[in-house]
Amino acid sequence: MPDKFIYLDNAATTRPDDRVIELMAGMDRDCYGNDAAVHAMGVAAAKKVERARIIVAGRLSAEPDELIFTSGGTEANNTAILGALAAAGGKKNHIIISAIEHPSVINPALRLKMAGAELTLIKPGANGVIAPAAVKEALRPDTALVSIMHANNETGALQPIAEIGALCRARGVLFHSDACQSFTRAALNVKELSLDLLTINSHKIHGPKGVGALYIRNGVRLPPLMDGGGHERGLRPGTRNCPGIAGFGLAVELGTAAQAEKVAALRDLFWAKLSRAVPGARLNCAEAPRLCGILSVTLPGIAGAAALVQALSAKGICVSAGSACSAGKTTPSAALLAIGLGSAEALRTIRVSLSRFNTEKEILRAAKEIAALANKEQN
């Protein structure tokens, strides 16, 4: 195994910031009380949690009491999808989602369909973007929820959620978006975007794993998925992960617009280098508004992305052959098929995802190594 890796799989997870690690270690050592307790140690932990809630909510232009902490994006998405339909009480039984959603949105929606709900799946255009007109056409009097992600985790394509949110608000339909990839990397104002529900998480922004949050607009009522001690507005029972939540708050504070601009510049440098070195390489969704750090690249002539990913790993370079949640599968990515790639093309596609910890030197070396391996397979 190489001594040092060039890590370019940040859409799957990110390296925690050292300052986040230090904060959490200090809390585990010195502030480990249960934040529901009324003694001094519990009160100190509760203050850390509520400070983080204020920080995270503020980044969304939300009120602190509109935010519940969860174990991550998957739990938050499930709470939103399953809860919204349950809250409809059988009066509305129709859900709209996009065909490029994360499995933690698609799978609960499919579970509801198996239980009798009606589900509409909207495909994106070739640019990876969901058309608001397609959502408008799919809306029905019995639509309980629309869920469209903010940025796709495989292509980085940003979705027009402001327009979609306005359509839903005008029709009285709950609107949810999964913003795990875009939070702190793109502007997110829940009021301007007409959002009722929004999912975010920590480990995609250099915070700890196992922590996320769900924004629930005041006035929206969801039933809990679990029963317990009534934590988090009664929606998320269980002892809170206080060090993780505090680390999440600090990670949000440390993520800036300037850092996102730096990552976007590295993304563009990488593509400029790779596209010159590999004739026929294609950047998927290149014409769409895209997140700063994700590139989906289809390479000509290679046997398959999985083998290329392994060869790069042996050289100390970490990329992926699609989303992390489909790792190990030989079937083509559903999101890539949805934007019009054929099965063979999807299986020749890699995802390169950058972070603020990457350097220009790393980017140039990664592009060079990917090009060398791709061109070797073609020859």
Active site residue ranges: 325
Instruction: Point out which residues pair with 298 in neighbouring strands.
Output: 282, 349
Quick check: 312 and 370 in contact, CB under 8 A?
yes
The secondary element (H helix, E strand) that includes residue 143 is: strand 143-147
Instruction: Point out which residues pair with 197 in neighbouring strands.
Output: 176, 216
Number of Cβ atoms within 10 Å of the Cβ of 139: 17
Number of Cβ atoms within 10 Å of the Cβ of 21: 16
The residue type found at 74 is T
Q: Any residues with CB less than 8 A from the CB of 180 and at least 6 apart, and which? A: 73, 102, 153, 199, 200, 201, 204, 212
The interaxial angle of helices 73-87 and 103-114, nearest 10 deg, is 30
Quick check: 129 and 160 in contact, CB under 8 A?
yes
Task: Using DSSP bridges, classify how beta strands 143-147 and 197-201 pair: parallel, antiparallel or unpaired.
Answer: unpaired
Q: Any residues with CB less than 8 A from the CB of 223 and at least 6 apart, and which? A: 83, 86, 87
The residue type found at 315 is K
Euclidean distance between CA atoms 260 and 187, whole angstroms: 11
- Token output for 276: 């010159």
Quick check: 200 and 207 in contact, CB under 8 A?
no
CA 354 to chain CA centroid, nearest Å = 14
**Burial group, residue 345, by CB count within 10 angstroms (0-12, 13-18, 19+):** middle
Q: In which residue are the tokens 């009722």 written?
A: 196
Comparing CA positions, the residue from 332, 35, 95, 86 lying closest to residue 224 is 86
Quick check: 141 and 172 in contact, CB under 8 A?
no
